[in-house]
Amino acid sequence: MNRYYNPVRAYQGYGCLAELPRLAQEAAAPGKRTLLLVWDESVLAKQGIRELLEKDKTLLVRRFGASNPELGQLYHMYQETRALEVGLVIAVGGGSVLDVGKSLCCLYGSAISSEEELRQLIAEKRYGAPACRWIGVPTTAGTGSEVTCWATIWDSCNDVKFSVDTSENYAFAALADPQLADTMPLGLAVSSALDAVAHATESYWAKATNTVSRALALKAIRTVMGHIDLLLKDPASREAHDQMAKGSMLAGLAFSNTRTTGCHSISYPLTMRRHIPHGVAVSLLLGPVLALNYPAVQDGQALLEAFGVQRPADVQRRVADILLAAGHPVTLRAWGVAEEDIPLLAAHGITKGRADNNPVELTEMVVQDILHAIL
């Protein structure tokens, strides 16, 4: 069906963080408190956030400093904050902080007394409508989480990844101000940017794609790929960081309606079991998955043009060159994966809701071939 929906008030560009106090006031629930969830306290000194703290003396500040948020960590934050009557969550950080912030909005309406109860509630999607609003302020340009309505929560003890999602949980507003991301180490800036490229590319060919998503996806890929060499050449370039933030938000808006496909599906065990950073894992898979999908992609030529390449095979080379220039190894072997690990990684790489959204069927044998292509 050709339908697009995204209600987030989306702000992007240097200085847009100044809008935060006004938006927070508009979104706040009367008589309730605002929770400011941050990756690290250094952001509290930034203009916009500083004013917010000066204006609202009841504001609660909590730190969440873990990547790939675990169910137990989410439960801990829920327990620590539920009784405080939170009416608005402002999440300032990378994907993990935003995912925890938006999950809390879905959980505050339920009384949960143990981690096991939380596991059941999330697995069975019994959290109902969000109990409060949230505002997303990304400090990395890549996840697009500020404009999507789902959160990824990991349960690595049980080798499971949960999605907390409901179309009622879009952010009240998203502010992607590159001043928060422009001091990121180059390796992280590049892997985050390539994660955004994967979101856009997968959105373009997803079974659930639509006209608006496809237009946003092409623009996102063009924006990131057209400026990533500037980022590599001058990691402090404001222009490059502005374009990465723009591309990331456009990619987020694209895949907010389509979700991801093969690259993300196959990447999860590489991150969970082999600790390959998410952006590196998905971008390594872009080339081989594109080569597989290309015959099934509508207007594949436009996709190649957005990447700035001639043939599908050129994408793998172009992505590898970028990753290498940012200091990332580009083979699975270099990340500690051995030939004999492939069958198990392939078996775990067929993720429900992602693999079945790929335009070409992903069997274990097909996934093994894809993993061999980057071994």
Task: Pick out residues in 9-28 that bind Fe ion (CB under 5 A).
Answer: none
Q: How many CB atoms within 10 Å of residue 120? A: 12
The span of 123-131, 132-140, 195-203, 295-303 binding Fe ion (CB under 5 A) equals 195-203
94 vs 101, beta carbon nearer Fe ion: 94
Q: Which residue is nearest to Fe ion (CB)?
A: 195
The span of 110-118, 166-174, 187-195, 231-239 binding Fe ion (CB under 5 A) equals 187-195
The span of 26-34, 188-196, 307-315, 339-347 binding Fe ion (CB under 5 A) equals 188-196
Q: What are phi and psi of 119, to 5 degrees?
A: -55, -45
The angle that helices 71-81 and 115-123 make with each other, rounded to 10 degrees, is 110
CA-to-CA separations, 110 to 78, 114, 120, in angstroms, rounded: 10, 12, 12
Return the closest-CA partner of residue 348 out of 160, 193, 126: 160
182 vs 195, beta carbon nearer Fe ion: 195
99 vs 195, beta carbon nearer Fe ion: 195
6 vs 201, beta carbon nearer Fe ion: 201
Taking the complex as a whole, how short is the minimal distance between the CB of residue 263 and Fe ion, in angstroms? 8
The verdict on 195 binding Fe ion (CB under 5 A) reads yes
Provide CB contacts within 8 A for 28, sequence distance 6+.
34, 87, 88
Q: How many CB atoms within 10 Å of residue 278? A: 23
DSSP 13: S
Distance of alpha carbon 171 from alpha carbon 9, whole angstroms: 8
Distance of alpha carbon 58 from alpha carbon 41, whole angstroms: 17
Per-residue interface string for the shown chain with Fe ion, residues 241-270, x marking contact by CB under 5 A: ------------------------------
278 vs 348, beta carbon nearer Fe ion: 278
The span of 72-80, 85-93, 189-197, 238-246 binding Fe ion (CB under 5 A) equals 189-197
Taking the complex as a whole, how short is the minimal distance between the CB of residue 264 and Fe ion, in angstroms? 6
178 vs 279, beta carbon nearer Fe ion: 279
Return the closest-CA partner of residue 268 out of 351, 193, 207: 351
Torsion of CA 190, 195, 201, 202, to 10 degrees: 170
Summarize as ranges the residues that interact with Fe ion (CB under 5 A).
Answer: 195
